[in-house]
Amino acid sequence: MAIPVPIADRHEGARSELSDFATDVMPFAKKMGVTFPVFWDDGGKTAGTWKVATMPTGIVVNKKGALAYTQRGFVDGDEAALEKAITAALAEPAK
């Protein structure tokens, strides 16, 4: 799931995976003004690791590499919960 750009831009270390056809990802990200790292999950290994069963699914991984938050689906208004999860995960100590 793509983190909404305004949320990601406010959090150093936030990044997003845009799951679409590989040839469309970078042009789309550039068009949207994405400033955080974007990667393509070729073969779905990352989605499998984090048990992504629906699209979009947003995950927040803390500094220890553990799953801190999962959001399945995305509707207007979900930004607050996602931003709260990102803020909390980035505030945690790394060890």
Please list the pLDDT of the chain residue by residue as tens digits (95 residues).
445 555 656 666 555 554 444 566 778 778 888 887 777 777 788 888 888 888 778 888 888 888 899 988 888 888 889 889 989 998 988 77
- The residue with tokens 């679409």 is 20
CA atoms within 13 A on the CB side of 31: 5
Q: Report yes or no: 13 and 87 within 8 Å, Cβ to Cβ.
A: no
